[in-house]
Amino acid sequence: MKKASVTMGLAAGLVALLLASGAKAQDITIAWKVTDHNLSNGYLPKVASDGQNTVAIIDMSSGGSVVPVFPPVLAISAFQYQIGAIEQASVLWAGAPMDLYGPTLQIGHGPSIALAFETGYPNCDDAIEFHQGGQDKDGSLWYQLGKNCAKFKDIHWADAVRHGIGYNATVAADLNSVQAKKDPTVTVVEVHQEANGESNLDYTVGALALGHSPSITWGETTAITESNGNGGATPVQGALPTVSVANNFVVLVFEGADGALMYSTGLVDTTTSTIAWNAPVMYGNGYDPTVSVFGDGTTTFGISEPWVVVEAHQVASGPPPLLNGGVSLVSNTGFLTGSASPITWSTPMNIAYATGCNPSVALFFNNEFQATNVSLAETHETECDITSGVDYGFGDLLVSE
């Protein structure tokens, strides 16, 4: 059943008072209720939520190989997706995965999905999907919009649209603007690599217009840069970016050089369709990172910080060639107090929660979990670099002083 949005937690003034007084920050932990629950077989799964009611997973129906090929061949396959309703302690999945059409069967590499919730009857979700290659089997980027209404069992997709050139695109829709401000549009952020492998990272900001026939207006594709200390700017380079947006506040994680894990935060200017990015920060070492941020900028529901962050990644790149299997997946939690502040990570860091590859996480409001009203869904492959089981997990966020 659809749940109305209810803002809970400390008032903004009390949050500010706690921060100003130097009160000890909260540590945030994940209480897993579902782990390693198999849904299907697939490759490179991504999970998204609409912030409060529905979860979607998209992946490639096949891809990868246990036999190394040089030069490497880009895995191309049809896409499949499935949706589910958020319940108290799990996700009620609608059924088996469905092929993605738009209008023909979509084929490509590395799909990513985002959902935006429409406030008011009939409580629909608008969806946006990005992928690489497909029709041209190259670095072309494509996106398509979709609609999911009564019974929440399917997404009705529009035609795929070309979106320039890039690799490993990630997309996110703002999880808070609709329920907090009832805006007629939702901020969407897309990030991708300029080239195959570690390269400059580019982004595009879109305004998703809600309604019977959703549409999106894009700004210019722009390089993510950082100050070079001489009054100029240097492009930020990385690979495998993942982005998340809450109340126009953006968190981006990506792989840096030599297995370094990096994050950058930013604030969307909806007037200019640009993002003011903060300098990247290294927060550890690992592979295939994923991130989700949730909050309204003043209080994160039952957590007394403006934004809460969950990150997960692989501790290794995968098993040796010709050997099946997964690697340890670990999670980190933290919070942010402002658009220019660094993430304050909970301790300890890198808590193992599963074995597999290519994790993906999505936070959402859950008023059936009264402690903080914030829960998350997670998905990953059971094995690395091959078509394997797609598993999902479900957990609640807990806080401690």
DSSP string, 187-222: EEEEEEESSSSSEEEEEEEEEEE-SSS-EEEE---E
Q: Are 304 and 397 in contact (CB under 8 A)?
A: no
The encoded tokens of residue 360 equal 């993906």
Q: What φ, ψ does residue 136 adopt, rounded to 5°? A: -100, -5
* Distance, CA of 310 to CA of 395 (rounded, Å): 11
Query: What residues have CB less than 8 Å from 210, skipping those under 6 apart?
Result: 116, 118, 126, 178, 184, 185, 186
Taking a C-beta distance cutoff of 8 angstroms, is the pair 172, 244 a contact?
Answer: yes
Nearby residues of 354 by Cβ (< 8 Å), 6 or more positions away: 35, 36, 329, 378, 380, 391, 393
* pLDDT score, position 69: 58
The set of residues, in sequence order, having a beta carbon less than 8 Å from that of 352 and lying 6+ positions away, is: 328, 329, 330
Cα 49 → chain centroid: 9
Structural domain 12-400, CATH architecture? 6 Propeller (2.120)
Residue bearing tokens 């594709």: 221
The pLDDT value recorded for residue 20 is 32
H-type alpha helices, 334-384: none
Strand partners, 202: 192, 223
CB 259 within 8 A of CB 253: no
CB neighbourhood size of 297 (10 A) = 18
Would you state the pLDDT for residue 385?
77
**Two tokens, residue 379:** 């998905």
For residues 356 and 374, give the distance between their C-alpha atoms in angstroms, rounded to a whole number.
25
The Cα 108–Cα 387 span in angstroms is: 15
pLDDT at site 24: 45
Q: Render each residue's pLDDT in the chain as its tens digit; 401 residues.
A: 344 333 323 223 323 322 333 334 578 999 999 999 999 999 999 999 999 889 999 999 987 655 555 556 678 899 999 999 999 899 999 888 999 997 889 999 999 999 998 876 667 889 999 999 866 667 899 999 999 886 667 899 999 999 999 999 999 999 874 444 556 889 999 999 999 889 999 999 999 998 888 999 999 999 999 988 888 899 999 999 999 999 899 999 999 999 999 999 999 999 999 999 999 999 999 999 999 999 887 765 677 788 999 999 999 987 766 567 899 999 999 999 887 889 999 999 999 999 999 999 999 988 877 788 899 999 999 998 778 899 999 999 998 86
H or E element that contains 254: strand 249-255
Q: Is 274 helix (H, G, I), strand (E, B) or coil?
A: strand
d(CA 393, CA 303): 22
Question: Is residue 170 classed exposed, middle or buried when 0-12, 13-18 and 19+ CB atoms within 10 A define those classes?
Answer: buried
Return d(Cα 290, Cα 46) in angstroms, integer: 9
pLDDT at position 135: 60
Q: What is the pLDDT of residue 153?
A: 73
